[in-house]
Amino acid sequence: MSFDYLALGAGGSGFNTLDIFATLFFFIVLMVLLKKFAWGPLMGIMNEREQLVASEIEAAENSRLESQKLLDEQRELLKQARTEALAIVENAKKQGDVSREEIMTTAREEATRLKESAIREIETEKARAIAAVREEVVSLSVLAASKVLEKEVTEEDNRALIEATIAKAGEAK
């Protein structure tokens, strides 16, 4: 048996080189057309999509970093506010202590001043009372002397005169 490649191809039982070359040619043409009209735009769309996703990821990362920065700033401000509030409270306590001490000192000084004033007033009134008593004693003595001079006094008259003087001195008080 002899193999005739051309005959086999026509008969359907062998390889047809013309069909192989035609298929290969059309495959290459199809690949060129696909590359020009399908792969190029498809790859362009894929590149655009890749760039969009990359830019969104970058924007999200930048937003996250900015949020973290703002959170850190807020925490720092809150810490400063707490520190300032504690300082204000501490200052108010100190001011309250100073004011309390000033008020206590002023009150003590006022009490001392009033006490000294009362003592001076009591001493003044005591001196006046003593002066009044002396004046009364002098006046009673003068009265007693004048009575003695008016009459001669016996021991019994002298005793009665003293008792009467003492009684008058008691009534005067």
Helix (H) or strand (E) holding 79: helix 40-150
Distance CA 62, CA 69 (A): 10
Distance CA 67, CA 167 (A): 105
pLDDT at 1 over 70: no
pLDDT at 170 over 80: no
Q: Is 91 exposed, middle or buried (0-12, 13-18, 19+ CB in 10 A)?
A: exposed
Helix (H) or strand (E) holding 122: helix 40-150
120 token code pair: 């001076």
pLDDT tens string 72-81 = 999 999 999 9
Are 140 and 168 within 8 A, CB to CB? yes
pLDDT tens string 7-63 = 444 455 567 899 999 999 999 999 988 888 888 788 888 899 999 999 999 999 999
57 token code pair: 């990821």
Give, as one character, the DSSP assignment of residue 12: T
